[in-house]
Structure 1
Amino acid sequence: MAAAASGAAGAAATPREGAAKPDASGSEPADEGVTMETLHPGDATSYPKDGMTVRVHYETMIEGENLKIDSSRDRKVPLEFRVGLGQVIPGLDVAMKRMSRGQRAKLTIPAAMAYGARGYPPIIPPGAALVMDVELISFA
């Protein structure tokens, strides 16, 4: 779990080539109901692939609530994980493959791609969708 809650210490955080183009609002549908709205474009040429190690900054909130539950920015330490290996929530994993180096995006991640029906008590309630502000700093 890698971008969910301070108590979860990187516990929540987890798009794809040939992905759909953004609509007029700038949002892009991602896999499994994850949506991505670009806040700052990246280089639009280099994208992480499964097995690569990415470094990201993120902030996580429960959808519909104005309360930050976790932030690598607040800790001033980026999250590092390998894409596609289940080291973070599935929704973040899916989004990484659609973000380019330097891109910052707002992700809306349905419960099924986050913590599901169980949640991550006491921080994330059962069935909660997450909103993440994610910046892809680097990958190799």
Structure 2
Amino acid sequence: MSIDLQSKLTPLPRLYKEITLDVGGEAVHLIIRRPPRTVMAMLLSEARKAGELDEQDKPKDGGCAMRLMARMAASVLYAPDGVRPLYDRKNPEVIENLVENAEWLLDIQEDVVGALGANGAVVERIQGNSEATQT
């Protein structure tokens, strides 16, 4: 199959927002894209398999919530000219590195959640609140 045909059959996820992060005093330009609708379910499934969610699909603690947020960010962040996400959300080392070193992760939380189309209940779970309300 030719590369042109592959790119037509699997186009880039839709653009959600262009952002600029200040990382160590340097501007870093990134693209946030809307992934396929199934990605949010896959993210929750991956977190369950990692033992990070309780029976109500709420993060067990703050570290678990941060790893879920890192997985979410890894699913939607692209380099400006990138055709694949910048990070591999399925690689535990990548996720731990984001949690430990990406000081900007919480700064982009709203945009990441927005790109995934997560509703209020999912956002509440990610933040670890005990009573999620539907929006």
* TM-score of the alignment, normalized to the shorter chain, above 0.5: no
How high is the TM-score relative to the length of structure 2? 0.29
Identify, as 1 or 2, the structure richer in helix. 2
Comparing both chains, which one has the higher relative contact order based on Cα–Cα distances under 8 Å and sequence gaps of 6 or more? 1
